[in-house]
Each structure stands twice: as structure tokens, then as C-alpha cells.
Chain A
Amino acid sequence: MTDTNKTPLVELRDMSIAFGGIKAVDHVSIDLHAGEVVGLLGHNGAGKSTLIKCLSGAYQADSGEIYIEGKKVNIENPRDARAQNIETIYQTLALADNLNATANLFLGRELVNRFGMVDEGKMEAETRKIMARLNPNFRKFNEPVSALSGGQRQSVAIARAVYFNAKVLIMDEPTAALGPHETQMVSELIQELKAQGLGIFLIEHDIQNVMQLCDRAAVMKNGQMVGVENVADVTEDDILSMIILGKNPKKAT
């Protein structure tokens, strides 16, 4: 179990963001330690993706503070987040459909040679290496990702997030499009990365997966945080009732 007394790797304090009249995230606080996996659960539209997008720089929170290793940071755009070694797998995958797997993997961080030109060969070789680990059956290196299946696209998005030595990994339903074997490989990957000391936010609807992979589970409803519990201390039913009722059973009893 993680040592919760140490300074958290990431701390989101009192985050709020509204779209028009909708409070998508409403005064939410959560933290994440190194070597820990925190599961985020909740109904569709609960605000999970919106919350992590404030951390990944996709959105700017209306209010709230972000601390990385105890230091307050300003994350105003995705570049800021990447600079803090925060990597994200978005629910929408965020791939440029007209580019191939290699170009997508290195998008925004292309390897260049000494003349400042993109080093296509080296990048493709690196892509082949990481894909061999994540999805050994992957062959379509020279086709635009629009020609890939949903699962293949997802493995490209995963490869992109894990290639660049992340400290914090955000995974928004990373296995939604994957087959059972690939899902198993991602589970193993998560455990491996956790052992390496990464902190991982995992948004996941499958409670069994959460119980198996996560140290803590955080449940959101209507933009608010219902509760954060150690997975070891609760049952699947407890979490389910938190999701459905929007109440923390332990606090109620």
C-alpha cells in the first residue's frame, strides 16, 4: 500500500469548471501518489473526463489549484502538462487520422536529426519497438491511423502516453475498444508502470477491473466527488451504491 503521509505526486484542490450553466466539475479535490493507481468512476456525464482534462491542460479550470510534488503549478495548455511529465490517453484518443502511427506517437515531440529535420526512420524504428511490447500483432506502420481498427488506434494512443517517461499517467477508459487479450496486456502494463513508480489516474467503468488494478477508487456524480476509498476496505457493492446513490456508504453508517 502507498504511504499516504508522503507529499502526493499530484494534488488537485477544489477544482471547479462550468460550461454555460452546467457545473461539470464542482469543487473537487483529489490526490495521487507515486506508485499508486487511483480509479475514477461515475455515471456518464459525471465529470470524470472534464476533471482530468483540467490536469492534462486540455481545459483551464475556473477555480482550484494544482500541486505537483507539493509545488503549485500553472497548467494552461497541454504543453505545460507535458512539461510536468503528465501524459494522457484521452477517451477520444486524440489522434490525427491522416497521419500514421509513428507521426501520431511523436506528434509535438518529433525526433530531429542534427539538421533539425524530422528523423522519420528513427521514429519508425522506435514505434516498432514500443508497439512490439504493447500490441505484437500491430503491422500497419505506414498507413494513416484512419485505416486502423478501434483497438489498434487505442494501442497507438497508449503507446504515445507511455513512450515519453511519464511521471503521471492519465488513462480515460483505455481499454474501451480492446479485445480480452489486449485488455489483459494493458492491465499488465498498468501494473508494470505502477511498479516503476508512476502515478496513474484510471477512468474505468468496469468495477471488477477497478478492484483488481486500483489502490483507491474515487466516485463522482453530477460534477461532485462522492468519496474516495481504499479499494481494500470496500466491496464492489459499496462502490456500486456510491455510483448509483451518490452517497458514501461508510460515512452514512
Chain B
Amino acid sequence: MTDSKTTNPATQTNMSPVAKFLRATELDTRLLGMFGALALIWLGFHYYGVIFNDFGAFLTARNLWNLSVQTSSIGIMATGMVLVIITRNIDLSVGALVGVTGMTMGILQVDILPAYLGLGNPAIWIITVILGITLGATIGAFHGWLIAYRGIPAFIVTLGGLLVWRGSAFLANNGKTISPVDSTFQLLGGGPYGAVGSTGSWIVGILACLGILWLTVSGRRNRLRHEFALRPMWAEIFVSGAAMAMVIGAVLLVNSYPWPIGIVKQYTEANGLTIPEGGLFISHGFAIPVLILAGVGIMMTILMTKTRFGRYVFAIGGNPEAAALAGINVKWMTLKIFALMGALAGLAGVVASARLNSATNALGVLDELYVIAAAVIGGTSLAGGVGTIYGAILGALVMQSLQTGMVLIGFDTSVQQIVVGSVLVLAVYLDNLYRKRTK
């Protein structure tokens, strides 16, 4: 080892150019691996379509936009599952929580609130969302209490929870579907109206780029202040440039996906406009659920990397006894983590029921498996102590890409299940190999 205070790690000789590049940029090789896997999946499905169906449907604005919306609810929950798994627990009940919170919110906004506030009152969706998330958090906190203060293993508590809350979701409305939901609430699930349009997307994109620049500059300043080794300038420019290019690319993509003609007609008629010759191009832009996922991702990342809470989550996962001896209240932390997981499941319930424009008791069935798979594929270790939020979101995107891709090329559900199951096992195996090599 050399002194990292005086020697810049990137200036060391006898390293391969790739290793040098990785050291200088401080990029996580796992992150690169996940981007690689994603590229492989996307290109694979697209060219499979090109070759066998004469049409590559995957790499189209329409499909990628839909993919982003479909990833949202699993992605939102996966960020919470990271904390649960890092602390050596598991939550099998999240899919059932989506069901029970979705049903409850359906009843609230369709049967109860309009009776008091009047149909279409703008407060309806707000109250519904708040109560839905609160319900999720309360159930999660109850699970956490049973686990931390009553010593029942998380596996059992949440397995029981899976059955109890799925059953409750059915009983809530005797198995009947509630539809349609409040018209503002519906926007939270995406769709042409539930997206921020071209200008909105540019604003989001530019804010994101400014954020990236700010992170780069403040990170550099912080290192200078404490006399730590700096990244070489070219590496800073490369990393922040690549990140901004991805943001701009995403903006261009979602803006190149126009509203369908039917919606454009409906919109122009409602606003007394006429469609010019050659049609009217109205961009979708980022879907609202995708922005919700992005917001959740940012907040959870800050929580995990910049706050004491996040530090304690990692410490508990690494060594629960040591965490307790360091004065961390492990039980209270466990309760809070499950409450947070429940709240995120409630939020996912919002997105999922809004997207379907209905609440059914089957909402979120099997989600727990996809959420756990997303977190694990994203590098969260089931042994505890290790995991990242961005990894879990990318993991959710990988899972959803596989699913969507197989639907596009016409695989049966049974084949889809076989592929997803095998990929999960393979991913964890590759992850094991990776960990051994980097240890």
C-alpha cells in the first residue's frame, strides 16, 4: 500500500489501462457490469425481434417509455428492500401491502371521500395518498415491532403478513374491483396526461445536470479541504460528462415519444384547438411515476450515505452486536426500517393502482419476489451489510427489461417464469464470484 494522502492512485505504474481507468474514475465495477448486462438484454431482445419478427420492438421510444413506467413501482419498493436485506432481514409482505393499501385507497377515493368532499375535489387524491402511505407505514411498523421487540423472525412475520394482508385486500371490497379512480390520482400512474411533457422534461433534465455538476465540484472541494487525493481532472470530466449525457439522452428519448392520435384529438377538442396538417406532435416527456421513483431514489441515497440512520443500517448489517455496543438502538432501528419499507409499499400501491386506473385485490401479486430479486441483482448481499440504492433501481430495471422483452417477442408466461428464475440464480452466482475476486 502506498500513502493515499500523497500519491495519486491513478499515477501508479504497472497497472493495466482498464485498471488505471477504474481507479482514476473510482467507478464501481459492479455498476459498469449492470450497465453492461442491461445493454446486452436490450440489444438482445431488439435484434431477436429484428431477425425473427422482422421488427425490433424493444429499442423504440414507446417501449422504453413504457418500460420506465413499469419499473417504477418495483423500483420504489426495491429501494426499501435494500435496507431490510442489509440488516439481515427479509420482507415477503410487500406485494400484499401494495394490494391492501391499493384497495383501501380505492375505497377511500371512490366510496368515502367524495361523499364528504364532493366528486372531483382536489383534496381527494392528496388525502388518499397520505392515508395510503400512512397505512403502509403502520403495517410495516407493526411487522417491525413483532420482529424486533417480540423476537419473531422476519421471514415468519412477513410470510404471515403476506397471507393476512392479501386476505384483507380481498375482504375489503369482497373481491370486487374498484374503478375508475380519482382523475388526478390517476395521473400518478403515468399515461399521456400523467407525464410532464417536453418542457417539463427539459427542466428536470437541466436540474439533474446542475445537480451532477454541483456534486462533482463540491466533492472536489471537500477533498481539497481535507487534503485527500483528488481524482484526475479528465476522470472528473469523464464521469460527470457521462452522467449528464445519460440524463440528456433520457430527456431526448421521452420527448421523442408522441401522444397517440386519439389522445391528441381528445386534447385538442377539449381545448378548442385544431390539429394542423401533418398532425400535432405532443411529447410525453417523463412519466410522473418515473419522477416519483427518481425522487425516492435520491432521497433514499441521501438517507443511506449521508445520514446517521443510513450509517446505522450498514453497521447493524455488518455486526449487530457491535452496533448495539456502539450505542445504536438496534430494535428501534429495525422497527423504523420496516415502517419505511411499508411506507414505500404504500407509495408503490399508489403508483400501481393509479396506473391500472383501478384497485383490485390482486394488485401487487408476486411483487415481493421481483422486489427482492431487484435488490439482490443490484448487489445487496443476503449476508447483510452491503447494498446500494442505485443498484436496486438498476436491478428493478433489469428484471422489468427481461419481463417486457419476453412479452414483446411473444414468450409464454411459463417460459418467462423459467427465464426470470434462472437469471436470478445466475446473477447471484456471478455476484458471489465477483465478491470473491474483489475481496
Q: Mark A85-101, 1 if CB is under 8 A from B, else 0.
A: 00010101111111100
Known: A79-B327, A107-B326, A110-B311. A121 touches B318 (CB 8 A): no
Interface of chain B residues 289 through 333 with chain A (CB within 8 A): 302, 306-308, 311-312, 314-315, 317-319, 321-329
Contact B226 A121 (CB under 8 A): yes
Contacts A121-B222, A125-B226 given; indicate if A96 touches B325 (C-beta within 8 A).
no
User: Which residue in B223, B315, B321, B386 is a CB contact (below 8 Å) of A107?
Assistant: B315
The answer to the question of B225 belonging to the interface, with a C-beta cut-off of 8 Å to chain A, is: yes
**B319 with A97: CB separation less than 8 A:** yes
Query: Does B322 contact A95, Cβ atoms closer than 8 Å?
Result: yes
Question: Is A94 within 8 A of B326, CB to CB?
Answer: yes
Q: Are A110 and B308 in touch, CB under 8 angstroms?
A: yes
Cα-based distance from A97 to B323 in the complex (angstroms):
11
As a 0/1 sequence over residues 261 to 289 of chain B, the CB contacts with chain A under 8 angstroms (1 = contact) are 00000000000000000000000000000
A78 near B315 (CB under 8 angstroms)?
Answer: no
A79 to B323, CA, bound (A): 11
Judging by beta carbons under 8 Å apart, are A108 and B4 in contact?
no
Contacts of B323 in A (CB 8 A): 96, 107-108
Contact of A142 among B3, B4, B226 (CB under 8 A): B4
The answer to whether the Cβ of B434 comes within 8 Å of any Cβ in the partner chain is no
Cβ of B315 and Cβ of A103 under 8 Å apart? yes
* CB-CB under 8 A for A94 and B321, given A107-B328, A108-B326, A116-B307: yes
Is B433 positioned at the interface, with any CB of A under 8 Å from its CB?
no
Map CB proximity to A onto B203-221 as digits: 1 under 8 Å, 0 otherwise: 0000000000000000000
Residues of B within 8 A of A103 (CB): 311, 314-315
Residues of B with C-beta under 8 A to A96? 314-315, 318-319, 322-323, 326, 385
> How many of chain A's residues touch chain B, expressed as a range?
35 or more
CA distance A110 to B385 in the complex (A): 18
Residues 373-387 of B at the A interface (beta carbon under 8 Å): 385-386
Q: Are A121 and B3 in contact (CB under 8 A)?
A: no
Q: Is B429 part of the binding interface, using a Cβ–Cβ cutoff of 8 Å? A: no
Residue of B nearest to A81 (CB): B327
B308 close to A118 (CB less than 8 A): yes
What are the residues of chain A within 8 A of B324 when measuring CB–CB?
58, 77-78
In the assembled complex, B411 has its CB within 8 A of some CB on chain A: no
Residues 1-34 (chain B) with a chain A CB within 8 angstroms? 1-5
Question: Is A118 in contact with B311, judged by CB distance below 8 angstroms?
Answer: yes
B238 interface residue (CB < 8 Å to A):
no
Nearest residue in B to A96 (C-beta to C-beta)?
A: B318
Interface bits A164-207 vs B (CB < 8 Å: 1, else 0) = 00000000000000000000000000000000000000000000
Instruction: Tell whether, in the assembled complex, residue A58 and residue B226 are in contact, meaning their CB atoms are under 8 Å apart.
Output: no
CB-nearest residue of chain B relative to A115? B306
Expressed in whole angstroms, the minimum distance between the Cβ of A117 and any Cβ of chain B is: 4
B223 and A98 within 8 A (CB): no
Residues of B within 8 A of A56 (CB): 325
Q: In the complex, what residues of A have CB within 8 A of residue B222's CB?
A: 120-121
Residues of chain A contacted by B306 (CB below 8 angstroms): 117-118
B35 on the A face (CB < 8 A): no
CB contacts (< 8 Å) of B3 on chain A: these are 139
Is B55 close to A, CB under 8 A? Answer: no
| Chain B residues whose CB sits within 8 angstroms of the CB of A109 once the complex forms | 327
Q: How far is the CA of A110 from the CA of B307 in the complex (A)?
A: 9
Residues of B within 8 A of A122 (CB): 226
A229 on the B face (CB < 8 A) = no
Q: Nearest Cβ in chain B — how far from A145, in angstroms? A: 9
Taken together as a complex, chains A and B put the C-alpha atoms of A58 and B227 apart, in Å, by 38
Give the residue name and chain of the A residue nearest to B325 (CB): A94
CB of B149 within 8 Å of the partner chain = no
Residues of A within 8 A of B155 (CB): none
Contact B307 A118 (CB under 8 A): yes
Which residues of B322-378 are within 8 A (CB) of A?
322-329
Give the shortest distance, in Å, between A94 (CB) and chain B (any CB). Answer: 4
Q: A95-B322, A99-B315, A107-B328 in contact; A121/B1 too (CB < 8 A)?
A: no
Contacts of B1 in A (CB 8 A): 139-140
Which of B2, B223, B225, B325 meets A88, CB within 8 Å? B325
* Interface residues as binary, A136-154 with B (CB distance below 8 Å gives 1, 0 otherwise): 0001111010000000000
Within the complex, which residue of B5, B307, B327 is in contact with A117, where a contact is CB–CB below 8 Å?
Answer: B307
A97 to B319, CA, bound (A): 7
Contact check: which of B223, B308, B314, B327 meets A78 at CB < 8 Å?
B327
CA distance A117 to B226 in the complex (A): 17
List 8 A-B pairs, minimum CB-CB distance, nearest first.
Answer: A96-B318, A98-B318, A98-B385, A108-B326, A108-B327, A94-B322, A79-B327, A107-B326
A–B Cβ pairs within 8 angstroms, 25 of them? A58-B325, A77-B324, A78-B325, A92-B321, A93-B322, A96-B319, A96-B326, A99-B311, A99-B315, A99-B318, A103-B314, A108-B323, A108-B326, A108-B327, A109-B327, A110-B308, A116-B307, A118-B311, A120-B222, A121-B223, A121-B225, A121-B228, A125-B227, A139-B1, A144-B318
